[in-house]
Amino acid sequence: MTNPMPYAQHSAISAEQSQRVLRNTYGLLAMSLAVSAAAAWFAMAANIGFINPFLVLGVYFALLFANAKLENSAWGVLTVFGITGWLGFTTGPIINAYTAMGAGNAVTLALGMTATIFIAMSALGMMVKRDLSGLGRFIMAGLLVAFVGVIVSLFTTIPALQIAISAMFALLSSLLIMWQTNAIVTGGETNYIRATVTLFISLYNLFMSLLHLLTVLSGDD
């Protein structure tokens, strides 16, 4: 999944305001992860079958559009839960499929690696104090290229292409976590709803990419 990541307007806000945005972002992100996990568990428990990828993308982009329109109001929080809940729900059948083919360990390892990378890249983003807007443009361009690759992969079965796409998403998502965290602490991002969506989508892409790569490397795919 991609996120139409806006280039934050840097503003002179106080360290206290930056910390408030960071707390609100991490608080909403924690709730979003809980919503996503609950939705995934429900889909897995109900044994929901394969969901058409075009339906997944259509609903996803519709929710992103709604979020962009409402990100400056309290209603924006509901769109965040809509996005995270939908992605969690559509991930449930995928996890069931990986588990059914004996890749349960890959799921657990991918979760652990995702959490570790998130902590490391968030810490790095907090430590770097200089403007990383140039990196943001590079990440956005890379994500657009990777997303085009995803669309192409829906019509082809080239293993090397799918591996390359997963590797790109894993790398770019890791960098995006660092960039977004840095934008918050340096005052470049003042909207915690927008920041939460960016971080969640980064985590989602990172987890799914790592899961695919680990499964391929283990020979279960």
pLDDT (tens digit per residue) in 118-128: 999 999 999 88
pLDDT (tens digit per residue) in 11-61: 446 778 888 999 999 999 999 999 999 999 999 999 999 899 889 999 999
Confirm whether 137 is domain-assigned. yes
| CA 40 vs CA 46, 115, 142: distances in Å | 10, 17, 28
**pLDDT category of residue 3 using cuts at 50, 70 and 90:** low
Please give the single-letter amino acid code of residue 138. Answer: F
Of 151, 184, 210, 144, the residue nearest 5 (C-alpha): 144
Which residues touch 154 (CB under 8 Å, ≥6 apart)? 53
Q: Which helix (H) or strand (E) holds 210?
A: helix 192-218
Q: What are phi and psi for residue 151, nearest 5 degrees?
A: -60, -45
Question: Domain total for the chain?
Answer: 1
Q: What is the rounded average pLDDT for all residues in the chain?
A: 88
* pLDDT score at 93: 95
Spatial separation of the C-alpha atoms in residues 101 and 127, rounded to whole Å: 41
Which three-class secondary structure string do you get for 7-40?
Answer: CCCCCCCCHHHHHHHHHHHHHHHHHHHHHHHHHH
Q: How large a percentage of the chain has pLDDT more than 90?
A: 60
Please give the single-letter amino acid code of residue 126. Answer: M
Tell me: pLDDT of 9 over 50.
Answer: no
Q: Return the minimum-mean-pLDDT range out of 74-83, 104-113, 123-132.
A: 123-132
Confirm whether 10 is domain-assigned. no
| Interval 68-82 mean pLDDT | 94
Of 20, 39, 19, 21, the residue nearest 31 (C-alpha): 39
**pLDDT category of residue 219 using cuts at 50, 70 and 90:** low
Tell me: pLDDT of 10 over 60.
Answer: no
| Interval 100-128 mean pLDDT | 92
**pLDDT category of residue 7 using cuts at 50, 70 and 90:** very low
Spatial separation of the C-alpha atoms in residues 201 and 205, rounded to whole Å: 6
Confirm whether 119 is domain-assigned. yes
Spatial separation of the C-alpha atoms in residues 85 and 32, rounded to whole Å: 8
* pLDDT score at 15: 77
- Structural domain harbouring 151: 15-218
Confirm whether 53 is domain-assigned. yes
* pLDDT score at 17: 87
* pLDDT score at 6: 47
Confirm whether 174 is domain-assigned. yes
Prediction pTM value: 0.87
Spatial separation of the C-alpha atoms in residues 54 and 145, rounded to whole Å: 18
Spatial separation of the C-alpha atoms in residues 140 and 198, rounded to whole Å: 11
Confirm whether 152 is domain-assigned. yes
| CA 159 vs CA 22, 95, 164, 213, 221: distances in Å | 39, 20, 9, 11, 10
